[in-house]
Amino acid sequence: MAAYKYYEMENKALKTEFATPLSCQEAEYAFARLKSRYKFRHYLIWRNLRRHCGLCGDFTITLKPPTSVGILAHEVAHAIRNKKKLPKEKHHNKKHFNAMKRVAKVIMGNLSAWKAASASKIAQKNETIERRKAKESVFEVYAKTPNFKLAKLRSTEKAWLRKFKLATTKLKQIRRKIGIWERKQKASIARMEAATDAWNAVGI
């Protein structure tokens, strides 16, 4: 079957699905849920494609933003079929069409819940960003005060004192070892001199 005829058949059979738009965030959430359900290995990327609305490779599904339920179902069906497709099997066939209908049915059945979950996730993300920005703005004001400068200098002083204490302790350990080995060296030299004197006295 020629590609354009297959696409025409898809559009007629799944007219509502292709007419249902999905934002990037909604499509990403739906894709994650479908990936968890069908266990395929692909990951989603976005790109402004010229000729296609979506592409499915060996490891990636590329979509052109914004997308629709039908396009997402089409590419996810390819990802599902890639695990079972025979070497000479056609890319678009009845098996792919049936897989696409199953995926579209799952998406449409959970669309309202997934959209609500996606919106909640986006709202939480925005709240987190706003809280971070508020903290950063408060910190910028506080960083210009003498209290912050003094606290920072005291913290730096403590850090250097801790390093100095560690260095002093290490230096004492090294000096102690130097003293031990110096005494050992003197004892060794004394033994060698005593042995030399003894050999000389015996006449060796």
Q: Are strands 67-68 and 21-22 parallel, antiparallel or unpaired?
A: antiparallel
Q: Are strands 60-63 and 43-46 parallel, antiparallel or unpaired?
A: parallel
Examine the domain organization and report whether 131 and 173 are in the same domain. Answer: no
Examine the domain organization and report whether 102 and 14 are in the same domain. Answer: yes
Give the residue ranges of the chain where pLDDT is below 50. Answer: none
Examine the domain organization and report whether 129 and 164 are in the same domain. Answer: no
Find out whether 51 and 3 touch, Cβ atoms under 8 Å. no
Quick one: which of 103, 124, 101, 100 has its CA closest to 33? 103
Confirm whether 147 is domain-assigned: no
| 40-50 pLDDT per residue, tens | 889 898 988 88
How confident is the model at residue 178, as a pLDDT?
A: 94
Q: Which domain holds residue 186?
A: 154-204
How confident is the model at residue 57, as a pLDDT?
A: 84
